[in-house]
Amino acid sequence: MIDKLDFMSSFEYTPDEDIKVHEENAIKLLCTHFQSHESGLPEWVKNSADAYAREDAPEFKRVIVIIFDDGGDKGIPSISCLDFCGMTSTHIEQNFRVWADPDAARRNAKTEAVQGGHGNGGKCYMTQMFDKYSLLYTVKQGKRCVYGVLGGSIRFGYIPDKQSGRDVPIQDIKTELNKALSRIRRSLRVDDLPRAARRALEQADGFTLVIGVGPKNYDGRRFFQHLAEDIKNHPQMVKSLQFCKVYILLNGKQMSNYNPISLPKIEPLEGFEDPLVINIPDKLQDPRSEVKVSTTENGKYPAGKLVLYTSKVSMRWNMKSRHVIIYKAQSGYIGYIPITELDVQSPHRDKIYGECQLEILERYKQNDRARLADSALTRAVNKFISDKVQEYADKIEGKFKREQGLKEVSKLKEINDFLDQWKNQLLDEFEAGFSGPSGIGLMPESSHSNELPEGEPERVELEMVYDTAGLGVSLKPKIKFLDKDGKPLRPVPFRLVSEDENVAMVDDSLNIINTVGYGRTLIYVETLDKKIRSKKAPLEVVRITNISILPEEIKLPIGSRRKLDAICQLDNHEKRKNVCLIWEVGDPNVASVSSTGMVYGHKIGKTGIMARDKTCKADMPAFIEVIPGDGQGTGNEKGRVYPRVLISGVDPDPVTGKPVNFSPDDPPVCQRTIDVEMNIWWINSSAPLARTYIESYGVTSREWRMYHVERYIEVLAQIYLKRKSDWDEMPLDSKEWLMEWGFRTAEIQKRVASGLKDFIDKGVLPNG
């Protein structure tokens, strides 16, 4: 009998002589990160840049040409990448064709400029993203090799066979490149290449042209325009563009703005021109487990550095591909994390970017060289980066933020409190005419059909939010009449039709569809003169045997909302989610529920929400408890809670007590995800016009009062439209949203003109 302690303290075994791997599935797993052109094409460019780096090529020779071609009238579109290095059959067979070889790119390199990788990206792109085939047409030392793979396969081979595709003597490089280019487009020649490419060819002893034929998801020339912009802004391209000149051709002609592709110079922020170099400590704490981990493996690796740079302007939109922290390790570039994903609360965050140089991170790089693999170390490093970026942003803010005096802040809060109370009075006045259940309305529901222009409609559209319904329920479709330009017109006489009235019948007086039997029907709308008819919309009435409401219990802060889902089991045991049902609430004073399952909390208390059709109802109602909500504003004597409007940079977060700051690039009126639940709206004091009025004129100026009131008008319009969109069975489309916005804004402006004239003109407050 083996002693347990002895068994655990020593271990002997005989390993298998080989390792069994399902090659195809293993390679497909390696390639999961390269299922798009915007992530795959930069791999080809990187491979070309690495080829130049291995040879320590002079600057004039480091030219890469990306060639897009739509295939002409009868051809097949393709994507290609050309460099002037070339590969021998030895390089193909010992380096290129070997999957998952992280040293393939660096082998025999003469410089440290090789970016490297896992040895998968370029091949993955060739195998996954082209329907027809991909190939390498390469020349080196007077010999040609053609090597490729059929679309969807992972098994590469010489084309058409090893004898004809491997180490074939050539006449001269230019002639051979013309042959290669003619595979893309018959008329394409060396003379069509950029001048820099032709010059590089004159001094080259080889070239490599990678061609992918039949790119997936191709949808015309705009596909290439979008792809050109995507790769230009891809973080993986930064090092390649710094090291090489990259040009783009489309159908044999150079694309403007991409010849060569250039990285815009980032002007530093005044006063922060020099990089901030921060040593990374040997020990960092994992924020999840709170365990300390070593960043050097206890001295095995050198200590790392975090280098932060600044930008004079926000990088959030136009330079978002460089608005990152790049990770660098032994093999160079290994990944990145966008600054926007770091836990940094400052509008000056958008002017910071940088590099994290830490060799131990090499083991955490992934195939796509984007996010590092999740681990205690990478989490600890990212937390360290977040903290240092926050400190730097705070330092910038301390230098550049114009201090607001306590008196001015106090006055600003006084003005905002006044406008917040005025907003509540306006909501009370409007609420009476709202068509929804008592307590949830904000403004009167009015038809704008009389305000639409008259005209002869070109078409009529019917939209239904549900194509499946229970028995005995009602659906109200949206009907729109449009002119030849797609603009809404005033309705003309029409009728709503169900092709099978044994399944669904139409109530002509209300234009509502009532389900009366199981089965399928088609619904359409037509004008009474039958000249115009909409497309037919399918409607299936299903036999429901069980309904479950999720979540089963909700604690809903007063004044907030939450969506319930009804899971219906049908008589064939199929489960469906988006089925039109009847929703009911036990106590409408506590909460209300829309026809789509959206629940609103009105008054502190408990109630139940039930979903049903004519023959089946949920086994259990969803139990709703409306609770007090932190920071949700004040209530009136009826228990109603109003949305609250606060000012960023002035008011703290009512829940956390921490400062709230938005970026100048954020909208003038903002809502974070948590603010939606808390019924809070923020006026962004960092918005360009807000800063101008506050800093140039002051908060007691007429300019600021006008701006402040305009933001409240925007808040009121958004409150109405968001609530209407939630409540209506059929949400508004973009045109209707804009039309409603215009109507509601004009309505509120009329009230402002009459009710706030003295405040705007003279700054008079009720007690001022």
pLDDT tens digits, 185-202: 999 999 999 999 999 999
Q: What is the Cα–Cα distance from 566 to 583, expressed in whole angstroms? A: 10
Contact 490, 453 (CB under 8 A): yes
Q: Taking residues 362-384, what's their average pLDDT?
A: 88
Contact 611, 594 (CB under 8 A): no
Q: Does residue 345 carry a pLDDT above 90?
A: no
pLDDT band, residue 34 (cuts 50/70/90): low
**Chain Cα centroid distance, residue 8:** 51
Supply φ then ψ for residue 687, to 5 degrees.
Answer: -60, 145
Both tokens of 364, joined, read 């955490």
Q: Does residue 229 carry a pLDDT above 90?
A: no
pLDDT band, residue 634 (cuts 50/70/90): very low
Question: Please, which residues have CB within 8 angstroms of residue 508's CB and are 6 or more apart in sequence?
Answer: 495, 496
Strands, E assignment, 613-721: 622-627, 644-647, 669-670, 680-683
Q: Which range among 347-356, 382-391, 639-648 has the greatest average pLDDT? A: 382-391
pLDDT of the residue at 30 = 64
Of 40-54, 441-455, 608-622, 726-740, the one with minimum mean pLDDT is 441-455
Q: Taking residues 680-691, what's their average pLDDT?
A: 90
Contact 213, 78 (CB under 8 A): yes
pLDDT of the residue at 31 = 65
pLDDT of the residue at 609 = 94
pLDDT of the residue at 556 = 86
Both tokens of 400, joined, read 């550049």
The H or E element containing residue 41 is helix 37-55
**With b meaning 16 or more CB within 10 Å and e meaning fewer, what string describes 236-274?**
bbbbbbebbbbbbbbbbebbeebbbbeeeebeebeebee
pLDDT band, residue 317 (cuts 50/70/90): confident
Of 152-156, 219-223, 479-483, 742-746, the one with minimum mean pLDDT is 742-746
Q: What is the Cα–Cα distance from 527 to 520, expressed in whole angstroms? A: 23
- The rounded percent of the chain whose pLDDT value lies above 70 is 84
Q: Does residue 736 carry a pLDDT above 60?
A: yes
Contact 613, 544 (CB under 8 A): yes
Both tokens of 82, joined, read 């050309």
Contact 168, 179 (CB under 8 A): no
pLDDT of the residue at 514 = 94
Bridge partner residues of 158 (DSSP): 147
Q: Does residue 632 carry a pLDDT above 80?
A: no
pLDDT band, residue 27 (cuts 50/70/90): low
Higher pLDDT, 596 or 278: 278
pLDDT of the residue at 730 = 52
Instruction: Tell me whether the omega of the peptide bond preceding residue 160 falls within 30 degrees of 0, making it cis.
Output: yes
Q: Does residue 423 carry a pLDDT above 80?
A: yes
Both tokens of 190, joined, read 């060396």
* Residue matched to tokens 């060639």: 67
Of 37-51, 240-254, 685-699, the one with minimum mean pLDDT is 685-699
pLDDT of the residue at 441 = 35
Q: Does residue 438 carry a pLDDT above 50?
A: no
Q: Which amino acid is at 697?
A: Y
Question: Please, which residues have CB within 8 angstroms of residue 217's CB and are 6 or more apart in sequence?
Answer: 37, 223
Cβ count near 473 (within 10 Å) = 21
Instruction: Write the pLDDT tens digit of every residue in 453-499.
Output: 888 899 999 988 899 999 999 988 889 899 988 888 888 999 999 99
pLDDT of the residue at 25 = 63
pLDDT of the residue at 638 = 44
Both tokens of 330, joined, read 């032994």
pLDDT of the residue at 273 = 94
Of 245-254, 363-372, 478-487, the one with minimum mean pLDDT is 363-372
Q: Which range among 239-243, 500-504, 694-698 has the greatest average pLDDT? A: 500-504
Helix 734-755 crosses helix 702-727 at what angle (to 10 degrees)?
A: 140
Q: Taking residues 55-67, what's their average pLDDT?
A: 91
Higher pLDDT, 31 or 431: 31
Question: Please, which residues have CB within 8 angstroms of residue 596's CB and are 6 or more apart in sequence?
Answer: 465, 563, 583, 726, 729
pLDDT band, residue 445 (cuts 50/70/90): very low
Q: Taking residues 562-587, what's their average pLDDT?
A: 93
Of 62-66, 113-117, 272-276, 490-494, the one with minimum mean pLDDT is 113-117
Q: 544-550 and 494-498 as β-strands: parallel, antiparallel, unpaired?
A: unpaired
pLDDT of the residue at 543 = 96
- The rounded percent of the chain whose pLDDT value lies above 90 is 46
Q: Taking residues 619-628, what's their average pLDDT?
A: 91
pLDDT of the residue at 439 = 32
Q: 3-class secondary structure for 455-479?
A: CCCCEEEEECCCCEECCCCEECCEE
Q: How many CA atoms lie within 13 A of 269 on its CB side?
A: 23
Question: Please, which residues have CB within 8 angstroms of residue 693's CB and are 6 or more apart in sequence?
Answer: 701, 703, 704, 707
Q: Taking residues 64-76, what's their average pLDDT?
A: 88
pLDDT of the residue at 180 = 96
Q: Taking residues 518-535, what's their average pLDDT?
A: 94
pLDDT of the residue at 352 = 95
pLDDT of the residue at 449 = 52
pLDDT of the residue at 737 = 66
In order, the DSSP letters of 48-86 are: HHHHHHHHT--GGG-EEEEEEE--TTTS--EEEEEES--
Query: What mean pLDDT is reported for the chain?
Result: 84
Q: Which range among 31-35, 249-253, 585-589 has the greatest average pLDDT? A: 249-253
Of 131-135, 383-387, 600-604, 762-766, the one with minimum mean pLDDT is 762-766
pLDDT of the residue at 198 = 96
Contact 240, 46 (CB under 8 A): yes
Q: Taking residues 12-23, what's their average pLDDT?
A: 67
pLDDT of the residue at 432 = 45
Q: What is the Cα–Cα distance from 221 to 69, expressed in whole angstroms? A: 9
pLDDT of the residue at 92 = 92
Q: Taking residues 612-641, what's their average pLDDT?
A: 74
Decide: residue 24, CB within 10 A, 0-12 exposed, 13-18 middle, 19+ buried.
exposed
pLDDT band, residue 447 (cuts 50/70/90): very low
Domain architecture of the chain: domains with CATH: 23-254 (3.30.565), 276-400 (no CATH), 449-541 (2.60.40.1080), 544-627 (2.60.40.10), 644-762 (no CATH)
Decide: residue 450, CB within 10 A, 0-12 exposed, 13-18 middle, 19+ buried.
exposed
Q: 3-class secondary structure for 334-374?
A: EEEEEHHHCCCCCHHHHHEEEEEECHHHHHHCCCCCCCCCC
Q: Any idea of the CA torsion for 517, 522, 523, 525, to the nearest 10 degrees?
A: -140
pLDDT of the residue at 197 = 96
CA–CA distance from 621 to each of 473, 547, 607 (Å)? Answer: 18, 10, 9
Question: Please, which residues have CB within 8 angstroms of residue 112's CB and are 6 or more apart in sequence?
Answer: 332
> What is the longest distance spanned by two Cα atoms in the chain?
97
Of 368-372, 493-497, 682-686, the one with minimum mean pLDDT is 368-372
pLDDT of the residue at 113 = 46
Question: Please, which residues have CB within 8 angstroms of residue 691's CB and are 6 or more apart in sequence?
Answer: 664, 685
User: Is the dihedral angle over the CA atoms 297, 298, 301, 305 positive or is it negative?
Assistant: positive
pLDDT band, residue 241 (cuts 50/70/90): confident
The DSSP call for residue 481 is: E
Q: Any idea of the CA torsion for 758, 761, 763, 764, to the nearest 10 degrees?
A: -20
Q: Does residue 298 carry a pLDDT above 80?
A: yes
Decide: residue 149, CB within 10 A, 0-12 exposed, 13-18 middle, 19+ buried.
buried
Q: Does residue 727 carry a pLDDT above 70?
A: no
CA–CA distance from 437 to each of 288, 446, 643 (Å)? Answer: 45, 16, 18
